[in-house]
Amino acid sequence: MAAKKHRISISADECKGCRRCIPACPKKLISVGNAINIQGYVAVKADHPEDCIGCGSCFHQCPEPGAITIYVEE
C-alpha cells in the first residue's frame, strides 16, 4: 500500500496575514507572499505545497475558516 500524499492550499483572498501558520509548519512550507489580497492584507503562500506531510498544524493555527486546506491525494 502506497503512502498517502498531502498537499497544502492557501486561499490568498481569505488570508488576513496573521502569519500564525508560518512557525506552525514543521516542514517550513509557508512564507509571506508579496501581493496584497482583496482585503488589503499581505497573504501568506505555500512554497512546495506537494511536500506537505498533512499534519494540520497550520490549519489549526489559522483563525480564518477556509484560508488553509490540506488535501489528501491517493
Q: What is the pLDDT of residues 10-61, one digit of tens each?
A: 999 999 999 999 999 999 999 999 999 999 999 999 999 999 999 999 999 9
CATH numbers and ranges of domains, the chain: 6-72 (3.30.70.20)
Which residues contact residue 32 at a Cβ distance below 8 angstroms, ignoring those fewer than 6 apart? Answer: 17, 19, 22, 42, 44, 45
| pTM value surpassing 0.75 | yes
Residue showing cell 502506497: 2
